Amino acid sequence: MREIKNLIGGERITPETGKWREIIDPADGRTVVARFRESGADVAMQAVKSAAEAFHGWAATPVVKRCRILFHCKELMENRIDELSEAIVKENGKLFAEAKGSVRRGIEVLEFACGMPQLLKGEWLSDISENIDGWQYREPLGVVAGACPFNFPAMVPMWMFPVAIACGNTFVLKPSDKCPISADMIADIFHEAGLPPGVLNVVHGGRDAFEAMIDAPEVKAVSFVGSTPVARAVWQSATAAGKRCQSLGGAKNYNIIMPDASPQKTVDALIGSAFGCAGERCMATSVAVIVKGAEPILEQMIDQIKAIKLGNGMDAETGMGPVISAEHRDRILKYIDTGINEGAELSVDGRNPEIPEGCEDGFFVGPVVFDKVTPEMGIAKEEIFGPVLSVMRAESLNKAIELANKSCFGNGASIFTGSGGAAREFRTRIECGMVGINAGVPAPMAFFSFGGYKASLFGDLKMHGRDGVEFYTKKKAIIQRWFDGGETGNIWGH
């Protein structure tokens, strides 16, 4: 069992007060894999002050030197990717391959941040007027705070702090209180690589700790990923305090299946998107819209869904792991009851799934498919965040797009088709921030930016990519004029 401690000013600290929290392996529901004492506002403020003290020295560090440290961080992350992935399986329940893939995506953001000397370059124009030059460059903001969800406990923190610190900021991170292990390990790696004390601080706590960070005058910007109600509240609090805020919320992602879609590749992509990571991701397919003529693809998909094997994520034969907790499992089961009561047709029932020996007390919900779902149903409108797929029917692509655009969310959407014209119509008209063409999970690479529309994103700038650089820096414009000697005469002698 790992005992988790805060990282403040380069020192590992356990608060003297606060309740102890235990992290239970979701696959067996019994094993305590870590514990920590929950920190409150006072500890959060210690971390903010540490970050503030470290800022000026770190901002003055040449960007090339900052990135050399990040290159070493990447090397250590690569060497320990299996160790990190196994920790994610134990704290979160993902399959080992899913966990490793998520660490890989985090490393890709780190690779992007290592290119900061190029990304921070400003603009110059000589002779904007007679003997006057002008230029613009970027400066870091100061102290930045970020809070992350349980579903990607290594990847999402790395959407934030590598870019922020490469830009010259210092960072205070509040990992998920449900999955603190991997973020704690990553913090150790960054400091082992030579990151100065106070540049990255980690506080393990709950709402009180993060609210204190938002309120702290030293904090200039706030990054957040979580549910839409909390994302909205974070954005409102931060912007009311005059801070920058990028706050990513929930999703209800639509996939449209056209009659000309490639059957097996579409089925594989849909199953991976809807039931990968037990549906606990903001890019999961929540609604599949079957356009008239594509019904055989749905039938083929249901047959394969029923064959998915549940179990421990470290077992190579497992096709889907548990959800994060007993409470979350019960919440998903209530949504299944809601769908039945609303009149949807339960095509695949994930209640009471077959569980392997040793996992009887784990937090499992099997794959669920509802057919004949209508836009008015709760299971169609609300984010379930579990392995529940709703199926709607549409007469045409136009009607399918109209169904998708009725959602209050706008995170991601995909179309499966062999038609370039249909794909172009879809990408042009769909109201969401990330679009897939024959891709079930249209998450952009690190050099692009991640974020949605509508209730899926609060703020103007998204995570990582150029938006990340823009968010974590401020631009300064300079007008420069030099006189040629004035009353003292011509100093050049001509």
Catalytic positions, please?
Answer: 282
Q: Which residues contact 206 (CB under 8 A, 6 or more apart)?
A: 38, 177
- The strand ranges marked E within 114-158 are 123-129, 132-140, 143-147
Cβ pair 344, 372 in contact under 8 A: yes
Look up residue 206 and give its two tokens.
């709950």
What are the start-end ranges of the H helices in 129-249? 155-166, 181-192, 207-215, 228-240
Judged by DSSP in three states, 73 sits in: helix
Amino acid at position 83, single letter: E
Place of tokens 């414009």: 477
User: What are φ and ψ of residue 315, in 5° steps?
Assistant: -85, 120
The continuous run of DSSP H or E covering 254 comes out as: strand 253-257
Handedness of CA 42, 44, 49, 50 (dihedral sign): positive
Look up residue 480 and give its two tokens.
């420069």
Q: Which residues contact 452 (CB under 8 A, 6 or more apart)?
A: 248, 249, 251, 409, 410, 411, 412, 432, 433, 434
Strands 285-291, 2-4: pairing is unpaired
Strand ordering across the sheet containing 473-481:
123-129, 132-140, 473-481
Judged by DSSP in three states, 106 sits in: helix
The length of the chain is 494
For residue 103, count other CB atoms closer than 10 A to its CB. 25
Can you tell me the distance from the alpha carbon of 374 to that of 284, in angstroms, rounded to the nearest whole number?
A: 19
